[in-house]
C-alpha cells in the first residue's frame, strides 16, 4: 500500500513529495515493525516516466511501489512547469550512503545486489568504511532473469534477513526483481538504485558539482557512456509530453 505523504502526479504517475530525511524516517518506521511486507522504493527519473507511457507492465510496477521518490532533475523541472513544485531531489547515489549511515543507529542489516562482478563489492567496502554499516551480503547482477540462479539469489537475500536491499540492475529489471522478492521477504525495504554502485565504487565518476546544480547529470553520463544515446532519446520525448500536458491543461481551464 502506498505510503501516506504529499504526492504529485507526473504523466499519470504518483511521485511522493519527500526529502531524503523523510525517506529515512519511513524506512526506520517500516523496518521497526515486523511482517508488514516488503516496501519497494523507486528512485524515478524522466526516462522511467516515459517508459510508463509505453509499457503497461512497467506502469503496474510503478503504481504498486509503496514509495516513488524524485531522483532525476527532469522530474523537478517538470514539477515546476506543471505548477506543483517538489521540495527537491532524492538522488539515488546519495540515498544509498544516507540510508547506510542511518542504518547504524538501529543496526539494520544491508544487502547489495547488482552491477558487474567486483563493483558491488567495491561499493560495499567503501560504504562500510565510511559508515560502519552492517552489510550482510553482496552479489553482482549478472544472472539471467527467470532462472535457477535468479531464484537462488532471491532466496539468499531472504535468508540473509536483510532489512534494506539495494538493487542495482537497471530499469526495469530491478523493479521486476524487487517484485519477485516480495514473495520471499515479508519485511524490510528494497530500493532500485540503477548505476549507483558504479559511482560509489569509483568505477564511474559522479558529475561535477556545477553539472549537478544545473541538472546536467544526464549529460555527464552521456559524455562518459555515449552508448546511452539511444535510451536518452526519451529525454526530449519527456520534455515534449510535459509541455503538451501543461498547454492542454491550460486550454481546458480557459
Interface stretch with ligand UDP, choices 61-69, 110-118, 131-139, 156-164 (CB under 6 A): 110-118
Among 14, 59, 116, 156, interactor with ligand UDP by CB under 6 A? 116
**Which residues sit opposite 22 in a β-bridge?**
none
Q: Does 197 bind ligand UDP (CB under 6 A)?
A: yes
Q: According to the binding rule CB under 6 A, does residue 52 interact with ligand UDP?
A: no
Q: Which is nearer to ligand UDP, 31 or 73 (CB)?
A: 73
Q: Closest distance between ligand UDP and the C-beta of residue 145, in Å?
A: 8
Nearest approach in angstroms of CB 218 to ligand UDP is 10
Question: Toward ligand UDP, which CB reaches closer, 23 or 31?
Answer: 23
**Residue 173: CA count within 13 A, CB half-sphere:** 16
Contact 83, 253 (CB under 8 A): no
The verdict on 141 binding ligand UDP (CB under 6 A) reads: yes
Stretch that binds ligand UDP, among 60-68, 194-202, 211-219, 238-246 (CB under 6 A): 194-202
CB of 115 to ligand UDP, least distance (A): 3
CB neighbourhood size of 67 (10 A): 24
Residue nearest to ligand UDP (CB): 141
Contact between 115 and ligand UDP by CB under 6 A: the answer reads yes
First CA to last CA across the chain, in angstroms? Answer: 36
C-alpha atoms less than 13 angstroms from C-alpha of 200 in its C-beta half-sphere: 33
List the alpha helices (DSSP H) in 107-203. 119-131, 148-159, 173-181, 196-200
Based on the shown chain and the rule CB under 6 A, indicate whether residue 198 belongs to the binding site for ligand UDP.
yes
Q: Which one-letter DSSP state was computed for residue 105?
A: G
- Closer CB to ligand UDP, 26 or 169, in the complex: 169
Does 112 participate in binding ligand UDP (rule CB under 6 A)?
no
CA nearest to 37, candidates 179, 193, 192? 179
Rule CB under 6 A: say whether 142 interacts with ligand UDP. yes
Contacts of 38 (CB under 8 A, 6+ apart): 178, 181, 182, 185, 186, 187, 188, 189, 190
Using the rule CB under 6 A, is 135 a contact of ligand UDP?
no
User: Which of 225, 227, 228, 193 has its CA nearest to residue 207?
Assistant: 225
Cβ contact 114:88 at 8 Å: no
State which residue, 115 or 131, has the beta carbon closest to ligand UDP.
115
Which of positions 150-189 make contact with ligand UDP (CB under 6 A)?
168-171
Supply angle C-alpha 23, 25, 26, rounded to 5.
65
- 137 DSSP β-pair partners: 111
Residue with smaller CB distance to ligand UDP, 11 or 171: 171
Binding site for ligand UDP (CB under 6 A): 114-116, 141-142, 168-171, 194-195, 197-198
Amino acid at each position: 500500500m502506498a505510503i501516506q505523504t504529499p504526492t504529485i502526479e507526473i504523466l499519470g504517475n504518483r511521485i511522493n513529495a519527500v526529502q531524503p530525511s523523510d525517506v529515512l524516517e519511513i524506512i526506520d518506521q517500516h523496518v521497526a515493525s515486523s511482517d508488514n511486507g516488503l516496501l519497494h522504493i523507486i528512485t524515478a527519473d524522466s526516462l522511467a516516466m516515459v517508459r510508463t507511457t509505453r509499457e503497461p507492465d512497467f506502469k503496474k510496477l510503478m503504481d504498486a511501489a509503496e514509495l516513488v521518490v524524485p531522483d532525476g532533475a527532469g522530474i523537478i523541472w517538470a514539477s515546476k512547469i506543471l505548477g506543483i513544485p517538489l521540495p527537491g531531489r532524492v538522488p539515488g547515489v546519495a540515498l544509498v550512503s544516507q540510508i547506510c549511515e542511518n542504518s547504524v543507529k538501529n543496526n539494520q542489516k544491508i544487502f547489495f545486489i547488482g552491477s558487474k562482478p567486483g563493483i558491488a563489492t567495491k561499493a560495499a567496502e567503501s560504504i562500510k568504511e565510511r559508515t560502519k554499516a552492517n552489510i550482510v551480503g553482496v552479489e553482482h547482477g549478472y544472472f539471467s532473469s527467470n532462472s535457477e540462479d535468479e531464484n537462488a539469489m532471491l532466496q539468499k537475500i531472504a535468508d540473509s534477513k536483510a532489512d534494506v536491499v539495494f538493487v542495482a540492475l537497471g530499469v526495469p529489471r530491478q523493479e521486476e526483481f524487487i517484485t519477485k522478492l516480495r514473495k520471499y521477504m515479508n519485511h524490510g525495504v528494497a530500493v532500485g538504485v540503477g548505476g549507483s554502485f558504479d559511482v560509489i565504487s569509483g568505477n564511474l565518476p559522479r558529475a561535477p558539482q556545477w553539472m549537478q546544480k544545473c541538472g546536467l547529470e544526464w549529460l555527464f553520463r552521456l559524455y562518459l557512456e555515449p552508448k546511452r544515446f539511444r535510451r536518452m532519446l526519451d529525454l526530449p520525448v519527456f520534455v515534449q509530453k510535459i509541455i503538451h500536458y501543461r498547454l492542454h491543461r491550460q486550454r481546458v481551464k480557459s
